[in-house]
Amino acid sequence: SEILTFKDIWVEYGEKIVLERVSLSISEGSFVSIVGPSGAGKSTFLRLALGQEAPTRGQVLLDGKALLPQCDPDRGVVFQRYSVYPHLTALQNVLLGLEFAKSPFLGRLYGKARRDAIQTATDMLTAVGLQHNLNIYPSALSGGMQQRLAIAQALVKHPRVLLLDEPFGALDPEIRLEMHDLILRLWAQHGLTILMVTHDLQEAFKLATRVIKVDKRRHDPHAPHRYGSGII
């Protein structure tokens, strides 16, 4: 069944058309990669799916209903960098993910609720292999470990949809392969629907059940902004 639907979407910034009449249905449980040149509108897709940005025209639907803006536990997101807070430890970062919709302050949780939150966050960190780094700050973690932490933060509330924007783009090739194993395992274990933007075609075809290319449908060198991207 369909979990996420982009219906006749246009995204415009003033004169500039970024996405033009884009329709796309994402099946629940699928792993969709979005590829395409820089500036084509790939990240715009993720912002729409996240509800961070509203389309100029058209609708984004989750389970057939209009998206609630931001702070929705149904969607987790990981960016290439800076997805986690540098002034919080690994555990605190994941607790923040857990409490996001309510309050970022664990300080408001007491007793059993507090112990449960810490246990849930610790379990999630264990699932990504960070069980020995609970009280470490992100700056003391390698790039791959920081992305593991970002994934733990994004998944701790068990969202149904995981949005990934070039999540492995800054990592060394071997580490990238480890991250591929991790993300495929989490995808299967959590029954996730994944939408991943990547520049790496090989990565896109290796991981995804469906690869979508976003690009300008037409080119007019005199007025490129007149034409938005579509799915090609």
Site residues, ligand ADP (CB under 6 A): 13, 16, 18, 36, 38-44, 89, 91-92, 95, 105-107, 118, 135
* 146-to-75, 175, 194 alpha-carbon distances in Å: 20, 12, 19
Here the tokens at position 101 are: 């919709």
Distance CA 55, CA 93 (A): 30
Alpha helix ranges (H) inside the chain:
42-50, 90-99, 111-127, 143-155, 173-190, 201-207
Residues 137 and 93 sit within 8 Å (Cβ to Cβ): no
Nearer to ligand ADP, 41 or 159 (CB): 41
Distance CA 231, CA 21 (A): 9
Residues 5 and 61 sit within 8 Å (Cβ to Cβ): yes
Distance CA 106, CA 118 (A): 9
Nearer to ligand ADP, 31 or 45 (CB): 45
The nearest distance, CB 99 to ligand ADP, in angstroms, is 8
The nearest distance, CB 72 to ligand ADP, in angstroms, is 20
Nearer to ligand ADP, 92 or 193 (CB): 92
Alpha carbon 178 to chain centroid, angstroms: 18
* 106-to-94, 98, 227 alpha-carbon distances in Å: 11, 9, 47
Nearer to ligand ADP, 43 or 146 (CB): 43
The nearest distance, CB 166 to ligand ADP, in angstroms, is 8
Nearer to ligand ADP, 36 or 55 (CB): 36
Nearer to ligand ADP, 82 or 105 (CB): 105
Distance CA 154, CA 52 (A): 16
Nearer to ligand ADP, 153 or 186 (CB): 153
Tokens 């796309």 appear where? Answer: 24
The nearest distance, CB 215 to ligand ADP, in angstroms, is 9
Backbone angles phi, psi at 133, to 5 degrees: -125, 25
